[in-house]
């Protein structure tokens, strides 16, 4: 059994949040630098995107004012014992302190009264108990512009593989210029309604551009990326061949009568990362 | 790319000559308003109350900035998705708002209202918020302070680079 104290988690998560919010993930940056567009508006936008990412990094500033909802994927080894406080309280405190001390925007509010909590807590926390004695914490700063454009498709099995591709294409087409293309697409296939949605979000924790280890899924990711880029939405919706830079698909067993497909869109400004304690 | 330097308030001549795809370097006074402020401004209009700023000939920037660090004018301050403001927009255009600044596409009914009321929609690059800070010379909360980041701010900007996404004839840079 491994004992991990809340103080260690708090300081590590605060640092993780800071690093993620001011640095667009390296793999996404590399893919953005490789993009080429023909039309002038798209070229202009791409130049601004690259200049902004570099400027933000150099100056320890968030590249985007929407520093997001704080989303965590926790993998808690069953041989881990956390002392000094409740894990969700610790994560929420890390969010409060990091967002306040670093002048990040506070975006969380009550969905009915719309009164802002002014500390960006609480976080969205997804927890799995896993084997072993490690605590893995993956953080994503998820902005509204892209999160709002996601969708869930509860397909019938007859729609098959093509139905999965068509669903993602439909979602991206409807999203158009809104989620700040070029986008990164997380897809959850199978499971049930909420499992598909969580998988779609979890897919975004994969380093951008990294294919699935499953050959069949990897092929599906390629087909979806091709189909999406055929839409011609392009950088910022100004037209072009780069609507998405990456597609990550996660799958899970489903029911004989079901084919759930969830799509979670991430703007090009992928801000996420992981620590393992 | 055609580049134009415009100082606010924009003249009708300058406005109707702006074409989708042109690059504009904007200087002068903008007012920030996003979801919650649009709701309140609309309510103020419905109740015949004063709006936080004179809507006629104004320019609105859809943004909710990050907090300013000590000694700084403003935090990072990029555009938010404009389509969330669509349902409030025709009323504001009827009241004389001439320029809207945000990111992403607009509804067809907004475009029709833009044609009718002669207004333009400019875009900043979504997610490029840190560099935009450089063009903001002053910032002051003028209304709805309780909304925090969503409060209405008066911003003075200098050579803020923007692209004309929908012009006053309804021509659009976006694929529909």
Tell me: the pLDDT tens digits for A19-61? 999 999 999 999 999 999 999 999 999 999 999 999 999 999 9
Rounded Cα distance between A63 and A208, Å, is 18
Instruction: Indicate whether A225 belongs to any domain.
Output: yes
CA B54 distance to own-chain centroid: 14
Rounded Cα distance between A126 and B109, Å, is 40
- CB atoms A237 and B105 under 8 Å: yes
- Report the predicted TM-score, pTM, of the whole model to 2 decimal places: 0.96
CA A214 distance to own-chain centroid: 21
Please report which helix (H) or strand (E) contains residue A138, including its range: strand A135-142
Instruction: Indicate whether B173 belongs to any domain.
Output: no
Rounded Cα distance between A169 and B147, Å, is 37
Residue A51 sits at the chain B interface (C-beta within 8 Å): yes
Bridge partner list, B160: B26
- CB atoms A59 and B130 under 8 Å: yes
- CB atoms A116 and B1 under 8 Å: no
pLDDT for the residue numbered B176: 57
Instruction: Indicate whether B137 belongs to any domain.
Output: yes
**Nearest Cα residue in chain B from A103:** B67
Residue A139 sits at the chain B interface (C-beta within 8 Å): no
Q: What is the CA radius of gyration of chain B?
A: 15
Residue A65 is nearest to which of B1, B75, B161, comparing CB atoms? B75
Q: Give the mean pLDDT of chain A.
A: 97
- CB atoms A116 and B150 under 8 Å: yes
> ipTM above 0.85?
yes
Instruction: Indicate whether A165 belongs to any domain.
Output: yes
Instruction: Indicate whether A182 belongs to any domain.
Output: yes
Structure tokens at A40: 């002038």
Q: Which of B80, B81, B171 to mutate to test the interface with A (most CBs of A within 10 A)?
A: B81
Question: How many A×B Cβ pairs under 8 Å?
Answer: 135
> Residue A95 above 70 pLDDT?
yes
Residue A107 sits at the chain B interface (C-beta within 8 Å): yes
**Nearest Cα residue in chain A from B147:** A116
> Residue A138 above 80 pLDDT?
yes
- CB atoms B128 and A52 under 8 Å: yes
Rounded Cα distance between B41 and B35, Å, is 10
Rounded Cα distance between B34 and B27, Å, is 21
pLDDT, tens only, B57-108: 999 999 999 999 999 999 999 999 999 999 999 999 999 999 999 999 999 9
pLDDT for the residue numbered B34: 97
- CB atoms A63 and B129 under 8 Å: yes
Rounded Cα distance between A105 and B11, Å, is 35
Contacts of A148 in chain B (CB under 8 A): 81
Instruction: Indicate whether A229 belongs to any domain.
Output: yes
Q: Total structural domains in chain A?
A: 1
H helices present in chain A, as ranges: 6-22, 26-34, 40-58, 87-101, 144-147, 160-175, 193-203, 215-229
Our CA-based measurement puts residue B66 at a distance from the nearest CA of chain A, in whole angstroms, of 4
Contacts of A113 in chain B (CB under 8 A): none
Catalytic residue among B38, B40, B103, B106: B38
Quick one: A138 exposed, middle or buried, by C-beta within 10 A (0-12, 13-18, 19+)?
A: buried
Instruction: Indicate whether A24 belongs to any domain.
Output: no
Our CA-based measurement puts residue B96 at a distance from the nearest CA of chain A, in whole angstroms, of 26
> Residue A88 above 70 pLDDT?
yes
Q: Which of A23, A58, A65 to mutate to test the interface with B (most CBs of B within 10 A)?
A: A65
Domain enclosing residue A249, as ranges? 145-270
Instruction: Indicate whether A206 belongs to any domain.
Output: yes
Secondary structure of residue A35 in the 3-state scheme: coil
Strand-strand pairing, B3-7 and A272-276: unpaired
Q: Read off the pLDDT of each residue in B151-155 and give the average, rounded to a whole number.
A: 98
Q: Total structural domains in chain B?
A: 1
**Nearest Cα residue in chain A from B20:** A41
Would residue B38 show up in a list of annotated catalytic residues for this protein?
A: yes
CATH number at residue B150: 3.20.130.10
Instruction: Indicate whether B176 belongs to any domain.
Output: no
**Nearest Cα residue in chain A from B36:** A114
Domain enclosing residue B105, as ranges? 3-166
Instruction: Indicate whether B115 belongs to any domain.
Output: yes
């Amino acid at each position: 059994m491994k004992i991990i104290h809340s103080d260690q988690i708090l300081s590590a998560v605060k640092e993780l949040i800071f690093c993620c919010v001011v640095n667009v993930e390296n793999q996404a940056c590399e893919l953005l630098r490789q993009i080429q567009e023909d039309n002038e508006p798209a070229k202009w936008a791409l130049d601004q995107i690259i200049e902004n990412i570099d400027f933000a990094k150099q100056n320890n500033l968030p590249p985007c004012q929407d520093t997001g909802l704080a989303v965590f994927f926790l993998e808690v080894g069953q041989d881990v014992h956390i002392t000094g406080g409740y894990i969700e309280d610790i994560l929420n405190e890390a969010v409060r302190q990091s967002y306040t001390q670093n002048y990040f925007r506070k975006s969380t509010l009550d969905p009915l009264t719309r009164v802002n909590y002014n500390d960006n807590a609480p976080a969205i926390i997804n927890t799995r108990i896993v084997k072993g004695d490690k605590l893995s914490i993956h953080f994503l700063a998820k902005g509204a512009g892209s999160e709002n454009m996601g969708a869930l498709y509860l397909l019938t099995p007859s729609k098959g593989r093509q139905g999965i591709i068509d669903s993602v294409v439909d979602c991206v087409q409807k999203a158009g210029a809104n989620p700040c293309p070029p986008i990164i697409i997380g897809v959850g296939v199978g499971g049930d309604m909420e499992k598909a949605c969580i998988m779609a979000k979890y897919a975004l924790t994969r380093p951008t551009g990294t294919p699935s280890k499953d050959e069949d899924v990897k092929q599906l990711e390629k087909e979806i990326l091709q189909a999406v880029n055929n839409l011609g939405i392009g950088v910022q919706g100004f037209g072009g061949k780069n609507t998405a830079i990456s597609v990550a698909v996660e799958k899970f067993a489903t029911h004989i009568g079901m084919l759930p497909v969830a799509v979670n869109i991430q703007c090009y400004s992928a801000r996420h990362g992981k620590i393992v304690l | 790319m055609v580049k134009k330097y415009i100082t606010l308030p924009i003249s009708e001549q300058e406005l109707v000559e702006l074409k989708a795809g042109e690059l504009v370097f904007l200087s002068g006074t903008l007012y920030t308003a996003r979801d919650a402020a649009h709701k309140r401004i609309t309510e103020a209009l419905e109740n015949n109350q004063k709006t936080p700023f004179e809507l006629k000939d104004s320019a609105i920037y859809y943004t909710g900035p990050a907090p300013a660090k000590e000694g700084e004018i403003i935090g990072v301050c990029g555009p938010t998705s404009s389509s969330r403001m669509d349902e409030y927009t025709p009323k504001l255009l009827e009241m004389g708002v001439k320029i809207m600044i945000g990111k992403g596409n607009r509804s067809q009914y907004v475009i029709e209202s833009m044609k009718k009321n002669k207004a333009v929609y400019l875009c900043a690059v979504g997610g490029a918020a840190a560099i935009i800070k450089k063009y903001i010379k002053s910032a002051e909360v003028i209304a709805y302070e309780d909304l925090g980041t969503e409060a209405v701010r008066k911003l003075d900007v200098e050579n803020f680079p923007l692209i004309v996404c929908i012009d006053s004839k309804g021509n659009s840079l976006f694929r529909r």
